[in-house]
Amino acid sequence: MSLKFSDATIKEYNEITVRYPDRRATLLPALWLAQRDFGFISRDAMLAVAELVNIKPVQVEEVAEFYTMYHKKRPGKFHLQICRTLSCWLNGAEEITQLVEQKLGLKEGETTPDEMFSLQMVECLGSCHTAPVMRVNDEYHENLTPSSIGKLIDQIKSGDVKETV
């Protein structure tokens, strides 16, 4: 199934192109637009981006694969990203991860069958002083404790937390 960018997105993209003397520099911004519009960077999304930026599909693929924030498969509606690096680890990130896994019945890299939650372990999120930290979509949740993480997930489940992407 081929994907097409909407006219509005193409307009948005064209406004970005004037910032750079070389069109290829718009590749990362174009991939962000694709992820926003199509949900993740599928093969078809890569082809659409290649056409938009006017470069070869392989040039899009190598870049999409290199950067961890471009999802190569569809994440859950709420994509949980737990920081696993040192300061978070020293402050109990492992325990937080286990609790999330138990509560949702999923492992790292998995998505729940209802496509509500997906879990990814990520490297340092740059919030070491409020460890342990987790991002839910684009939102930081800091100073997590076993009780706060449980509460947060319950809130998301009951619809009290809005989808932020």
Binding site for other proteins (CB under 8 A): 19-22, 24-29, 31-32, 53, 55, 59, 62-63, 66-70, 84-87, 89-91, 122-131, 135, 138, 140
In angstroms, the CA 117 to CA 155 distance is 13
Q: Which is nearer to other proteins, 83 or 104 (CB)?
A: 83
Residues 6 or more apart whose Cβ sits within 8 Å of residue 21 = none
Shortest CB 6 distance to other proteins, Å: 20
Q: Which is nearer to other proteins, 65 or 154 (CB)?
A: 65
Q: Which is nearer to other proteins, 53 or 80 (CB)?
A: 53
In angstroms, the CA 63 to CA 126 distance is 23
Per-residue buried b or exposed e for 117-133, using 16+ beta carbons within 10 Å of the residue's own CB? bbbbebeebebbeebbb
Shortest CB 22 distance to other proteins, Å: 6
